[in-house]
Structure 1
């Protein structure tokens, strides 16, 4: 009778403490009431010992997964007196086992009885069993003579309980004893797959040209909705970070044309061409703008805002004008004359003073001044700015910025006045950079050498002494430009002040 069970695959449930074992029956001893399993699995993990022996007293339930001797089906039978706790005469061997005490050598391992001390409570409950399909999977592996393999999945990892003890392996590695990490985490690491996956061979099975040809043929059948080719046939276009990928037509860089081009042409940072205009065309442009309602007061306010914004940037912007830097407020000296350009400078000084900049306005005393200057001085007097009428009252030390509004487009006789020469000498001797607002072009050398110059609307052909030219948007509509024969598209984009480069 005992020989009929040899070779069968069984599943033995030893309770919550010892767990569940699976394996092939190697021997059944009716006298000592023991059964031995070859190539055992404990809780789904292959045991490091080749054979484990169980006593009938420790077996809670026994399931036969497959009977290999004389039967083709799967049946469930019990060992003789498997549930009896008497008649156990087996010897209790001490040593490391798979989930219990026993020998690790090739000799069969005897599982201790219930009376011996158990490991920590935990593990799988007695009601948990292995399904038929699970057993059949292990049978297939055994039938292929490749041995049991460790299952690398979440179930096998989670099925380990606190009761499972890692057996000690008495061995040496390179002549030295294995450390504790190898004893704790090294179990089963030697059980690797017999054959490595052939990535190169699998990749060689993919015919890239054939797949692309199939895609191309399917695109032809779809009325050419898409056009694809092999990577060798396609030449991808390369775009810069500032280029438009969906560009439909070429960019026209000359979007402004004037009836009488000036002596110079400028270009913006994006490459748009901005031609210069003569002073006569500039006067006609402002006259038409005033007839449409863009009065001098509006132009003064717009010019003052744009000039102050540029000046704030030159002074350091957010790096200089912060609440933590109130003890180092920038100082600006404004040099203005009795004309429209002087009124533009006063408007700029008012906005600078509103932004916590120390402004010193130089304007000589005149018996008769323009109404625009009078109104701008009234508004400037409401700020924290300081007004002086003598060059002696200007600072002796260098200031942060000098804004020059001394020159006029029409009145060139002012350069002969003593106050003009004294103010120009002070600006040239002061080591601060100079910003000129709306400098004139009258064929004479400018008295004050500027680092930057701000033109209004469209630039005038300024000389080299004017420094780098910037363009200010004073709000002239396109129809105003068309009225004087200028084809105009705004070159400002998202800004009101843009730099110009000499073409």
Structure 2
């Protein structure tokens, strides 16, 4: 009966030391309890010797991968029928185990020429086999052939209701494992022959040619394709005409120019031209109240960003509210500061307003002061009431474009000295032109509409949009195209 197993493909597990061998059974000796494999593989690698012989004492587990009986071939999945017998030897005949008939490659094959049904014990339970001529469902391995390897006319074999390990076998087990191997393990993949088909020198030559055409930047297309123009992530690939960076022109040069982050040129204007622009805007309907509100919104938005923005003004940080000292004078610039302070107080910023008691104030200041008092902000009229400790930000609105005599007032000098001695950074709103020396050195300055030629002590210049229409610019002789883009406050750089 040992001759019935010749030519079958088996897998022999010899433990951790010797490893696992696979190969075709060439001989089985029941007397010496040995089995020999032809063209063996050791741990998935083909052995250098044509045949290996194993003793029963070395075999831990034996699995039959493929049974070849005469001209027919019967597949066995994970049978493990070559195991140790009751005497501690290897059963070399079917008397120790019986193969299981399973479907292979689109057809169900019956067991022919095999012995009576037997049982094969495994570590995970006992498999019950059927009589010859009957088909049997089996557990499919997920790492073997998938269910798609079955032929189109072959259905999944059904369970016959027998027990497996004392429990009912479920239909879902049929899809958990695949068929056995169809091909022998006697053929190696020819790596050298396959590599010879790849002409590496020709391919790299085409790549080098493509890189030279693309100025050293590798193209994502085929090496033979023409390399297109290269664009950065922030460039427009549908650009049809060159960009004009000087989109704003003024009737007379004031001696200083700025540029935006995108490269647009923003020329400065004289105070006389700026004053005439605001007068025309007010005549067209852009009143002082509208300009004050727009300036307050832009300045407060810039101040909130300087104070930390979303990293500081959060509901979880109510115990560390930022403090801002607002220094205002009795003029339009002071009213702009009051509008900014009102919006900051509405955003949970602690605002301390310094505004001296004047006998006569502008109507705009009176209105803004009334609105500011509704926010709960603190107002002081003496420098002694300002905080002794540094605040987070100082907003300077003490200076005026026209009245330079205010700088000789005691309250002005005291407020300027306090701002210079306080270690907080200073933001100036609508500071005067460079001809007037600023008493408070600022870190940032915010200009309105178009910048004035500011001095170096004004710090970094920002520009805010106060809503002046383009036709108003044209009426005063300024060719204007908005440089703000999607923002209302943009930084300017000196050229």
Aligned to 2:135: 128
C-alpha distance in 2 between matches for 1:110 and 1:104: 17
Contact 1:100 1:111 in 2 (8 A): no
C-alpha distance in 1 between matches for 2:323 and 2:3: 101
Deviation at 1:378, TM superposition (A): 0.5
Contact 1:256 1:274 in 2 (8 A): yes
CA, structure 1 residues 452+49, in 2 after alignment: closer, same or farther (shift >3 Å)?
same
1:13-52 map, 5 Å = 36-41=4-9, 49-50=25-26
Aligned to 1:286: 278
C-alpha distance in 1 between matches for 2:117 and 2:340: 101
TM-score by length of 2: 0.66
Deviation at 1:335, TM superposition (A): 1.0
Structure 1 counterpart of 2:337, from 327, 338, 345: 345
Structure 2 counterpart of 1:493, from 475, 485, 491: 485
Contact 2:8 2:68 in 1 (8 A): no
Aligned to 1:403: 395
Gaps of 5+ in 1: 1-26, 28-33, 54-61, 68-95, 131-150, 164-186, 213-227
Aligned to 1:438: 430
CA, structure 1 residues 334+110, in 2 after alignment: closer, same or farther (shift >3 Å)?
closer
Contact 1:51 1:109 in 2 (8 A): no
SS for the counterpart of 1:489 is: coil
Contact 1:97 1:104 in 2 (8 A): no
Aligned to 2:140: none
Aligned to 1:200: 195
CA, structure 1 residues 407+46, in 2 after alignment: closer, same or farther (shift >3 Å)?
closer
SS for the counterpart of 1:482 is: helix
C-alpha distance in 2 between matches for 1:37 and 1:107: 11
C-alpha distance in 2 between matches for 1:434 and 1:197: 76
Structure 1 counterpart of 2:95, from 111, 117, 120: 111
Aligned to 1:426: 418
C-alpha distance in 2 between matches for 1:39 and 1:64: 8
CA, structure 1 residues 429+47, in 2 after alignment: closer, same or farther (shift >3 Å)?
closer
Structure number with greater Rg is 1
SS for the counterpart of 2:326 is: strand
CA, structure 1 residues 125+238, in 2 after alignment: closer, same or farther (shift >3 Å)?
farther
1:460 is the counterpart of 2:465: no
1:357-436 map, 5 Å = 357-436=349-428
Deviation at 1:394, TM superposition (A): 1.3
CA, structure 1 residues 234+375, in 2 after alignment: closer, same or farther (shift >3 Å)?
same
Structure 2 counterpart of 1:240, from 232, 239, 254: 232
Aligned residues: 374
CA, structure 1 residues 282+453, in 2 after alignment: closer, same or farther (shift >3 Å)?
same
Contact 1:49 1:104 in 2 (8 A): no
SS for the counterpart of 2:325 is: strand
SS for the counterpart of 1:111 is: helix
C-alpha distance in 2 between matches for 1:339 and 1:230: 68
SS for the counterpart of 1:361 is: strand
Using the TM superposition, name which of 99-108 and 433-442 deviates more.
Answer: 99-108
Question: 1:202-240, CA deviations, whole angstroms, 9 ceiling, x for partnerless residues?
Answer: 33499979x99xxxxxxxxxxxxxxx9972674454432
Using the TM superposition, name which of 366-375 and 101-110 deviates more.
Answer: 101-110
Gaps of 5+ in 2: 12-20, 30-66, 73-79, 97-114, 138-142, 151-155, 165-179, 208-219
1:270 is the counterpart of 2:262: yes
Aligned to 1:167: none
Deviation at 1:118, TM superposition (A): 4.8
Deviation at 1:193, TM superposition (A): 4.9
Structure 2 counterpart of 1:332, from 324, 332, 337: 324
